[in-house]
Structure formats: structure tokens, C-alpha cells
């Protein structure tokens, strides 16, 4: 192989192979390639991570974005200084999933160099439980959080969670009957429409306009058996969700079905009084997909951009869930018994008393901008 001579600082000539020079040329080419605004379709198992969003200066709390940014830098998609200051690449995630929460269809928008084999190169620098499953070009001003007009979450739980409190239940052998499933779905359907969810989050008073949220659908699917235990999956689609909102919505339905609370508590919880709403465990919550219906109508068929739909990637999403998300939920539930332990705390809640006039504590408080963003573009970050 032909050698290229290069003078070194000490005046001597050092021989380098032309192959090395070729690598440098490729790096130079990378630096010259223009940056383009794209979205990445991400799937990840959140166990062991402190959520999606990077916490600069808190390196002991590892997040999904820490691993993602590292892979973007190492693959040559972004310069190193963009990893240190994510604003430089116009980075935005669609939903800030919280500690331990997984995603099958997270979307992030950012500016990158469109290098060859970009997805393969990024994935080569990611652990196997984080995958980039798709990429699409978007308009220059696209922001994945602001342009998202709905989000769908799922919550996978063992069905013994719905067994009545007066029945002595063996977790492994419990099977959900049709009558109980119908009751669960009747209650979940009550959430549809616009309600004041101030009791389903923290730091929001009943007068806070951002506590009103619109739920498009919510239902529990047919149960199925995994590892000798029966599970079911609840799906919920809404414009946006506040912190803990989904877990509390599910927690309240479980409390009613188990017989700890009457059905009237649901209507009461949307009123002004403070109601004690239990929060179901974080394990089982998965960001399924995010929806960009308005963007797709405007730009999806303009001849320059593709609609943000992922039909071709659906099989890859399903495989990832079967390989990384469901086994993590099932094994963690069996080993750590997060649902069983949480169910033991339900009798501690006081579902009958309420604090009338609780809004007095909030009437002077300004509209809070909590972790989910009260601009209506929030997400259930946990």
C-alpha cells in the first residue's frame, strides 16, 4: 500500500498509509455536508434510566438522551459541541417519559448531517435496548413537541389488580372474567372528553386552565397469559397528559373495581374539591405512539415531505416490544411485585372525605408551568 509522507512537529517525516488519509477525507466530507432537520422514531426499554430527558450537570442520573447524544456524536451525525449544547442542533423530544418508563414510538426532532447508512451507524453506538427504527425529513421549523397533536400510551398490568378486595386471590391462577372486564371498560370510557384533572397531578389547582385535558379514547384490551400470569393492556389517547395523570386515572379505576371507592368518586374528582386519587405503579407505562395529524394534512403530501406515519416500521416496533419492553415489565413484576405491593397500600387512602375550599390555597398561585409544560403540549412524564 502506497505511503504518504507527512512532516511531524519534530521535523522528521512519519509514514502514514493512504487508507488513513482516506478516513480523514471522509471526516472532512462529514464536516462539509449540510445539516438537515429530521425526526427519528425511537424505541427503548426505560428500566434503569431516569427518564428520557437529559439532565445536564446530573451525570449520576443516566437518561435515554445521554446514550442517544453520545451515539449521534460517535456516528458523526453531529459535532461534539452540539452534544454539550443540544439547542445547537434544535433538539426536541415529543414526550419526557419519566424514570423506568419505556417507549415504542418516541419521536425526536433535530438537525443532523445526513451521512450514509445513518440509522445503522447510530444504532451501532447504542445499547440493544435503545433502537432508532426510522427517520424522515421534516420542515425546517418543525418541533416534535409543539407539532404533536395527540399521544397514545399503553399500560400493561397483571389482571389480579382488578380482583375484588374481599376475595382471597392467588396471583398466578387469577383470570379476569367478562363481567369485571366490562366494568373496567365502562369506567375507563367515563374519562373520554374534556375534564378537569387537577386531582390527577400535583401542583395544579382546580382554577388552573391547564388542568383541563381532552381524552379521545381509553379502554382495556382482552387479557392474555405470559409466564403463567395473566396480563391486560390499557390504551389511552389524549391531546396531552400531565405528570402522573395516566397512572392516577388507572389507579382510581382499580380502586373502584376492587371495592375501595364508589363510582361517584370519579365525577367528584373532576370538581373543585380535593380528592385522594391513588397513583398506580410506573412499571407498565409505555409511550406507544405520537400523532401529527395537522402537520400531515399540511405537509405530508406537498411533494417535498413525507407524512409522519410509520406503517413500514410497525413490524420492527412490534418485534422490539416483544423482545425488550414486555419481558422487562413481566419479569420486573414477577420479581419485584410492584403491582401487588401497591395494591396493599390502597386501604390507606381515604376515598370518602374531601377538602372543600382547597382551591383557596391556589387562587393566588399563577398558572404553573410544571414538568409537562402547561401549554397543552405536555406529556405524562411518568
Helix or strand run (H / E) with residue 24: helix 18-32
| pLDDT for the residue 35 | 86
Q: What are phi and psi of 294, to 5 degrees?
A: -65, -45
CA distance 260 to 255: 5
Scanning the structure block, which residue is given the C-alpha cell 512532516? Answer: 7
When pLDDT is averaged across residues 139-154 and rounded to a whole number, the result is 93
Exposed, middle or buried by CB within 10 Å (0-12, 13-18, 19+), for 153?
buried
Asked if residue 7 has pLDDT above 80, the reply is no
321: three-class secondary structure by DSSP? helix
| pLDDT for the residue 301 | 83
More confident residue, 148 or 57: 148
| pLDDT for the residue 271 | 95
| pLDDT for the residue 81 | 86
Asked if residue 123 has pLDDT above 50, the reply is yes
The 8-class DSSP code of residue 227 comes to T
What string of DSSP letters covers 330-349?
HHHHHHH-HHHHHHTTGGGS
When pLDDT is averaged across residues 320-332 and rounded to a whole number, the result is 95
Asked if residue 5 has pLDDT above 70, the reply is no
pTM: 0.83
DSSP bridge partners of 7: 13
DSSP bridge partners of 154: 235, 286
pLDDT (tens digit per residue) in 345-371: 999 999 986 544 333 333 433 333 333
Grid cell of 115 as nine digits: 451521512
pLDDT (tens digit per residue) in 41-100: 999 999 999 999 988 766 678 999 999 999 999 999 999 888 788 888 999 999 888 888
Domains and CATH numbers, the chain: 35-146 (3.30.70.580), 149-292+310-348 (3.30.70.660)
| pLDDT for the residue 302 | 85
Instruction: Please state, for a pLDDT cut of 90, what percent of the chain lies above it.
Output: 70
| pLDDT for the residue 223 | 98
17: three-class secondary structure by DSSP? strand
CA distance 87 to 75: 19
Asked if residue 13 has pLDDT above 50, the reply is no
pLDDT (tens digit per residue) in 208-218: 999 999 999 99
When pLDDT is averaged across residues 140-157 and rounded to a whole number, the result is 94
Scanning the structure block, which residue is given the C-alpha cell 422514531? Answer: 41
Least confident span in 22-26, 210-214, 313-317: 22-26
Asked if residue 379 has pLDDT above 90, the reply is no
Annotated binding site for substrate: 153
pLDDT-derived band at 237, boundaries 50, 70, 90? very high
Q: Which of 66, 98, 276, 380 is catalytic?
A: 98
- Average pLDDT over the chain, rounded to an integer: 86
Catalytic residue list contains 166: no
171: three-class secondary structure by DSSP? coil
Amino acid at each position: 500500500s502506497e505511503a504518504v509522507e507527512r512532516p511531524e512537529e519534530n521535523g522528521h517525516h512519519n509514514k502514514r498509509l493512504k487508507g488513513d488519509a482516506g478516513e480523514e477525507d471522509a471526516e472532512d466530507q462529514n464536516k462539509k455536508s449540510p445539516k438537515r432537520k429530521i425526526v427519528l422514531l425511537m424505541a427503548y426499554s426505560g428500566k434503569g434510566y431516569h427518564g428520557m430527558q437529559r439532565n445536564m450537570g446530573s451525570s449520576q442520573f443516566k437518561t435515554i438522551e445521554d446514550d442517544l447524544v453520545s451515539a449521534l456524536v460517535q456516528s458523526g451525525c453531529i459535532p461534539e459541541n452540539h452534544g454539550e449544547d443540544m439547542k445547537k442542533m434544535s433538539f426536541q423530544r415529543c414526550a419526557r417519559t419519566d424514570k423506568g418508563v419505556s417507549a415504542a414510538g418516541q419521536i425526536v426532532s433535530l438537525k443532523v448531517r445526513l451521512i450514509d447508512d445513518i440509522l445503522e451507524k447510530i444504532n451501532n453506538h447504542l445499547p440493544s435496548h435503545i433502537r432508532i427504527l426510522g427517520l424522515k425529513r421534516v420542515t425546517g421549523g418543525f418541533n416534535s413537541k409543539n407539532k404533536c397533536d395527540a399521544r397514545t400510551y399503553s399500560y400493561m398490568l397483571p389482571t389480579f389488580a382488578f380482583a375484588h378486595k374481599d376475595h382471597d386471590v392467588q396471583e398466578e391462577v387469577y383470570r379476569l372474567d367478562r363481567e369485571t372486564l366490562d366494568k373496567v371498560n365502562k369506567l375507563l370510557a367515563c374519562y373520554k372528553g374534556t375534564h378537569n384533572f387537577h386531582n390527577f397531578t400535583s401542583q395544579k389547582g382546580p382554577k388552573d386552565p391547564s388542568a383541563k385535558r381532552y381524552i379521545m379514547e381509553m379502554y382495556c384490551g382482552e387479557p392474555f397469559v405470559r409466564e403463567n400470569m395473566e396480563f391486560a393492556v390499557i390504551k389511552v389517547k389524549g391531546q396531552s397528559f400531565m405528570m402522573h395523570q395516566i397512572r392516577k386515572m388507572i389507579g382510581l379505576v382499580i380502586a373502584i373495581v376492587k371495592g375501595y371507592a364508589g363510582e361517584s368518586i370519579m365525577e367528584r374528582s373532576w370538581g373543585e374539591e380535593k380528592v385522594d386519587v391513588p397513583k398506580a405503579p410506573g412499571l407498565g407505562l409505555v409511550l406507544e405512539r405520537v400523532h401529527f395529524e395537522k402537520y400531515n394534512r399540511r405537509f405530508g403530501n406537498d411533494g417535498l415531505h413525507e407524512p409522519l406515519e410509520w406503517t413500514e416500521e410497525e413490524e420492527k416496533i412490534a418485534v422490539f416490544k416483544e423482545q425488550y419492553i414486555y419481558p422487562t415489565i413481566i419479569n420486573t413484576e414477577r420479581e419485584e411485585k410492584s403491582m401487588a405491593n401497591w395494591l396493599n397500600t390502597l386501604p390507606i387512602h381515604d376515598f370518602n372525605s374531601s377538602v372543600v375550599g382547597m382551591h383557596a390555597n391556589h387562587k393566588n398561585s399563577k398558572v404553573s408551568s410544571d414538568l409537562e409544560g402547561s401549554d397543552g403540549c405536555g406529556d405524562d412524564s411518568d
